[in-house]
A and B are shown apart, each in its own frame.
Chain A
Amino acid sequence: MLETCIGKLKLEKPGMVASGIMDETGASMVRMLESGAGAVVTKSIGLEPNAGHANPTFTEVKGGFVNAMGLPNPGIKMFKEEMNIAVPKGKIIGSIYGASADDFSKLAITMEEYGASAVELNLSCPHAKGYGMELGTDPKLVGSIVSAVKSAVKIPVWAKLTPNTHILTDIGVAVQDAGGDAVVAINTLKAMVISPEFAKPFLSNKFGGLSGPGIKSVGVRAVYDLGSVLDIPIIGVGGIADWRDAAQYIMAGASAFQIGSAIANKGPTIFDTINKDMIKFMRDFGYSSILDMVGVAHE
């Protein structure tokens, strides 16, 4: 009942672990797969090891979390060890970030060698200079990166998009026109936290990205907008904490969804809970598969 597909990639369960959450090590990815996730998206991996920003990198706010981790990762070479542990246990999506189409292609080729089921291009991180959304808000650049990666690998190529733009659908179309297999929406919203007592920004990077319940409705709308113009599959992400949130994304047009922030408070068992609750809802309301629900809110 819960199986779904994102183009030619089949998933037994529709929920994936979003990039950046419990996915830096092989053992933690295996734990998430065993907790009922249909796939795990890795931490965004670059060409070289990166320590990320100095602490403070994270804080709770009303409605969610603001973070500026700054893309910490051990680099693609050392990540092989983690992939070797995780890949035999389930579907691993390799999230990658780079400064150019060439970087992305190199990383994608290596992820494919490591056994990734797909690559997710990070075109949306809002807190790393020269990376992420700095590339992902220019449709031309997005198109050139996607098409370069497409010609470099055989596995599906997904592009993770930022909501921090007024031309989201143009960017989605650029991914589709370049041959991209799916879009993932949304990454965090640009955000900032100031400590009044110290009259200073709290995060060492000053700026960060907002995630959690506060951005869910923004994400659902972004997926709905993308669903109106795209034929390629969409993966919904942003503030999902229960089956109702997930169902909203699916009905807005998402074939699958990802969960990040909610893992903090609900723990890895959130996937099992949503899977069970979703089956109950589908039985009650006469949906025989996830794909039956995709985009129904458009009709």
Chain B
Amino acid sequence: MSDFVKIIGVNEEAYDTKTFEFQWDEKAIPGQFIMVWVPGMEEIPMSLSKTGRIKSITVKAIGASTRKLHELTIGDSLRIRGPYGKGFDLTKGKKILIIGGGVGTASVMPAIKESGADAIIGARTNKDVIMDDLGHKYAKNLWISTDDGSMGFHGNAVQLMREKVAENNYEIIIACGPEIMLYYIYQACVELNLDCQLSLERHMKCGAGICGCCVIDDQRVCKDGPVFTKEQISKMKDFGVQKRDECGRILKFR
């Protein structure tokens, strides 16, 4: 469950995003996550961006802990525990469209690799697009959207999804990204009568299903998720509306 691993590769994905590779023999499925720690940072949950024998995490430097991770290089150790949670079920639909938004792209990359499905990578600008090289390698068709039109489709990932759904008869959408994006993907899936599996996020402590601090309604993101089905999401009153801080207080998204 908990292990020390040595970093064997570092890849710069974007100006603020790096992938750290390590060898770890634990079995993991696409969509699962680990808890990562080195001294001097808070332990944080990270999705696996590779799930074979060589595994990886893809870290966007957004706070003190992720900046600390960015200081690491080949040969440095990580203390990790996991893998935790329910991953994507890639056997559910025949025709899958996979969508990664921002750094959420890293979390769906193993699912793109395993399924070879069509995929969309959405980002704010061309500088924020990550892992498009891998996406082109693994996906049957890969499309890119940027909010400012600096690369690929000019618009957001949900708009591009609607176009692609109209052209192809997808049965299920698999996605990870900002909750606002996932919220509109879910709404589109309801409207277009598509199934979906979405990877959600909340402030996490134990990671193992005990403390209950990462719940969305009564569902633990760490244990019942992080990947939730359309049916599970349809019962969530918090989804797209509110989350909880580290004290358990409600914070509204808007």
Interface residues of A (CB under 8 A from B): 20-25, 27-28, 30-31, 43, 49-52, 54-60, 65, 67, 69, 72-75, 78, 81, 195, 197-198, 200, 202, 204, 260-261, 263-265, 267
Picked from A57, A74, A195, A261, the residue with its CB within 8 Å of the CB of B205 is A57
- What is the chain A residue whose CB lies nearest that of B4? A197
With a cutoff of 8 Å between Cβ atoms, the chain B residues found around residue A25 in the complex are 212, 215, 218, 244, 248
Let me know if B207 is at the binding interface, CB within 8 A.
yes
Task: Pick the 8 closest A-B CB pairs, nearest first.
Answer: A31-B218, A56-B43, A22-B212, A55-B43, A58-B206, A27-B218, A51-B246, A49-B247
State the main secondary structure of chain B at its contact with A: loop
Q: Which residues of B contact A75 (CB under 8 A)?
A: 247, 249
- Asked whether, in the complex, the Cβ of B4 is within 8 Å of the Cβ of A24, the reply is no
Chain B 29-71: CB-based contact to A (< 8 A → 1; otherwise 0)? 0000001011100111000000000000000000000000000
- Which residues of the partner chain A approach B209 to less than 8 Å between Cβ atoms? 263-265, 267
CB distance from A259 to the nearest CB of B (A): 11
Whose C-beta in chain A lies nearest to the C-beta of B211?
A69
Shortest CB–CB separation between residue A226 and chain B, in angstroms?
26
Pairwise interchain contact A27-B217, C-beta atoms closer than 8 A: yes
- Is A60 a contact partner of B208 (Cβ separation < 8 A)? yes
> From A193, which residue of chain B is reached at the shortest CB distance?
B2
Q: Flag if B248 contacts A60 (CB, 8 Å).
A: no
* B126 contacts the other chain (CB 8 A): no
Min CB–CB distance B45 → chain A (angstroms): 9
Instruction: Tell me the minimal C-beta distance from B163 to chain A in angstroms.
Output: 37
Select one of B35, B44, B212, B249 contacting A28, CB under 8 A. Answer: B212
**Is B210 interfacial (CB-CB < 8 Å)?**
yes
- Interface membership of B166, Cβ < 8 A: no
16 residue pairs of the A-B complex, CB under 8 angstroms, read A20-B210, A22-B215, A22-B220, A25-B215, A28-B212, A43-B212, A50-B247, A55-B35, A55-B37, A57-B205, A58-B206, A60-B2, A72-B246, A75-B247, A263-B209, A267-B223
Asked if A24 contacts B2 (CB within 8 A), the reply is no
**A59–B218 CB distance below 8 A:** no
Give the CA-CA distance A204 to B220 in the complex, in Å.
Answer: 23
* A28 touching B37 in the complex, CB below 8 Å, given contacts A51-B246, A74-B247: no
- A24 to B220 alpha-carbon distance, docked (Å): 12
Check A56–B245 contact: CB distance below 8 A.
no
A54 to B223, CA, bound (A): 21
Q: Which A residues touch B211, using CB under 8 A?
A: 20-22, 24, 57-58, 67, 69
B200-254, CB < 8 A from A: 205-213, 215, 217-218, 220, 223, 244-250
| B245 A51 Cβ-Cβ under 8 A | yes
A272 to B123 Cα, complex, angstroms: 46
**B81 and A24 contacting across the interface, CB-CB below 8 Å:** no
Q: Do B213 and A24 touch across chains, with their CB atoms under 8 A apart? A: yes
Chain A residues with Cβ under 8 A from B43's Cβ? 55-57
Q: B125 in the interface, Cβ–Cβ < 8 Å?
A: no
Q: Which of B37, B43, B211 has the most CB of A within 10 A?
A: B211
Given contact pairs A60-B2, A198-B38, A52 touches B223 in the complex (Cβ within 8 A): no
A187 to chain B, nearest CB (A): 15
Q: How far is the CB of B213 from chain A (nearest CB, A)?
A: 6
Distance between Cα atoms of A31 and B246 in the complex (Å):
21
- From known contacts A31-B218, A60-B2, A72-B213, infer whether A55 and B42 are also in contact, taking CB-CB under 8 Å: yes
B79 interface residue per 8 A CB criterion: yes
Q: Which B residues are in CB contact (< 8 Å) with A31?
A: 218
> Known contacts being A55-B42, A55-B43, is A260 close to B248, with CB within 8 Å?
no
A24 touches B42 (CB 8 A): no
Given contacts A56-B42, A57-B206, 17 further A-B contacts (CB under 8 A): A20-B210, A22-B220, A24-B212, A25-B212, A49-B247, A50-B247, A51-B245, A52-B246, A54-B42, A55-B37, A58-B208, A60-B2, A60-B81, A67-B211, A197-B4, A202-B79, A263-B209
Contacts of B206 in A (CB 8 A): 57-58, 65, 67, 69, 264
In the complex, the answer to whether A56 meets B213 with C-beta atoms within 8 Å is no
A21 touches B210 (CB 8 A): yes
A37 to B210, CA, bound (A): 16
Specify which chain B residues have a CB less than 8 angstroms from the CB of A23 in the assembled complex: 212
* Across-interface contacts of B115 in A (CB, < 8 A): none
Known: A28-B212, A28-B218. A69 touches B248 (CB 8 A): no
Q: Which residue of A lies closest to B45 (CB)?
A: A55
Given contacts A21-B212, A24-B212, A72-B213, contact A49 B39 (CB under 8 A): no
When the two chains form their complex, are residues B39 and A51 in contact, meaning their CB atoms are under 8 A apart? Answer: no
